[in-house]
Structure 1
Amino acid sequence: MLTMTDVDVGYGRTSVIHGVTVAVPADGVVAVLGHNGAGKTTLLRAAVGLLPTRSGRILLDGEDVTGIPAHQRVRRGLAYVPQGQQSFGQLTTLENLQVVADTKRDGRARIDEALDLFPALKDLLGRRAGLLSGGQRQQLAIARALITQPRMLILDEPTEGIQPSVVAEIEEAILALTRRGGLSVLLVEQHVGFALDAAGHYYVLASGRVSAEGRGGTDSVTDVRSAMAI
């Protein structure tokens, strides 16, 4: 569904990503792990189209989107949930969802589907998003992205600063989505256990390069932690 091949990305004269190749299969979950400063968010921003690539290619469902702006990638089925539990703080939970749903013919049905994945939000529809907990805002951010019915969902640190019970709910929602089919997920995480539980394949980034990769699952936790310790 998404392939980034030999991608170089940077800011100004500073190179951050060096010749990285990452592939996300259809209906699959892939995790990118690494310490702060490894280049994980930069890689995602290039995938979404918020940063230009200096070299390499990006394919979305077989189509070369390397030079296509972010809004056109969204139209082709890509959704991005950035780091930081972002929401419109002065709007209610429901209004945050309606911002996206009102552009869709079946918007109410899409809101209902998103709420079925995150039922904790159903009792918070009238509450301003700025008053929600970090975990609730993260669920809201993911639910809002899902209303676009993407084929490719990109999540940047979805469990950062969130209590373990909500981490489990987010993981279950991601797995439920991929079990349905029709959705691929690229997940950037520092929470190794969560990432490997959810992912079928992982990549470890260090100093902007892939330092290790392998199959997901809890059996890989030791290998990943060893790779991140180098």
Structure 2
Amino acid sequence: MLELRGVTAGYGRTRVLADVTVEVPRGGAVAIMGHNGAGKTTLLRVAVGLLPVMSGQVLLDGADVTRLRPNRRVARGLGYVPQGQLSFPQMTTLENLQLVSTDRAAIDGVLDTFPALRGLLARRAGLLSGGQRQQLAIARTLLTGPRMLILDEPTEGIQPNVVAEIESVVTALTARGDLSVLLVEQHVGFALRSTGSYYVLESGRITSSGAGGPDALDAVRAAMAV
């Protein structure tokens, strides 16, 4: 569904990614892991179209979208949830959703995925907990009807007792079968439980990859310890 093929990218003359290839199968879920500064967010910015490539290609559902702007990629089915539980804090939860769609059936659909938000529709987003704001951010993106969903550190800044709640949401999304997911995540166990395969990114290069699941935990930790 999404392929970054031989991507080299960076900022100005500073190269951050070097010949990186990542594939997300249609209906599958893939995790990108690595230490801070490894290039994970830069990779996602390339995938979304916020950062141009120096070389390489970005393919979405088989089509070359390397030169397309972010809004054109969204129109082709790409959804992106950046770091930071972004919302419009002075607006209610419902108003945040209605910025994307006023279709009540569509809103009801995402609320079925995030039932905790149903009782918070009249509350200002700025008064929600970090976990609730993250659910709202994902719900708002799902309203665009993506076939390819990119999540950047969905548990960042979330209290430990709420991480399990976010994990259950991501696991449900990756289990749908009609939605491909690319997940960048620092919690290795969570990332491997939620996805079918993984890549480890270090210093802008892929240093390890393989099938996900609990059995991959030792291999990933070893790769990240290098």
TM-score (norm 2): 0.97
Secondary structure at the residue paired with 2:99? Answer: helix
> What is the CA distance between 1:165 and its match in structure 2?
4.3
For 2:151, the aligned partner's letter is: L
Do the aligned residues in 1 keep the contact of 2:189 with 2:214 (CA within 8 Å)?
yes
Residue in structure 2 matched with residue 36 of structure 1 by the alignment = 36
Secondary structure at the residue paired with 1:100? Answer: coil
CA deviations over 1:45-82 (Å, ceiling 9, x no partner): 00000000110011000000011111000000000000
Residue in structure 1 matched with residue 149 of structure 2 by the alignment = 153
> What is the CA distance between 1:2 and its match in structure 2?
0.2
Tell me whether 1:131 sits opposite 2:127 in the alignment: yes
**What count of residue pairs does the alignment treat as equivalent?**
226
For 1:204, the aligned partner's letter is: V
Percent identity over paired residues: 69
Partners of 1:7 and 1:225 lie apart in 2 by 25
> What is the CA distance between 1:178 and its match in structure 2?
3.4
CA deviations over 1:107-138 (Å, ceiling 9, x no partner): 21111111111111111111111111111110
For 1:149, the aligned partner's letter is: G
Tell me whether 1:111 sits opposite 2:107 in the alignment: yes
Do the aligned residues in 1 keep the contact of 2:174 with 2:194 (CA within 8 Å)?
no
Instruction: For 1:26-105, list aligned pairs within 5 A.
Output: 26-102=26-102
Do the aligned residues in 1 keep the contact of 2:174 with 2:195 (CA within 8 Å)?
no
Residue in structure 2 matched with residue 197 of structure 1 by the alignment = 193
Structure 1 segments unaligned to the other structure (5+ residues): none
Secondary structure at the residue paired with 1:53? Answer: coil
Instruction: Quote the RMSD (CA, aligned, Å).
Output: 1.0
Partners of 1:52 and 1:182 lie apart in 2 by 28
CA deviations over 1:155-207 (Å, ceiling 9, x no partner): 00001121344322333223323333221000001110100000100000100
For 2:158, the aligned partner's letter is: I
> What is the CA distance between 1:28 and its match in structure 2?
0.5
Partners of 2:172 and 2:43 lie apart in 1 by 26
Secondary structure at the residue paired with 1:83? Answer: coil
Secondary structure at the residue paired with 1:5? Answer: strand
For 1:132, the aligned partner's letter is: L
Partners of 2:98 and 2:54 lie apart in 1 by 37
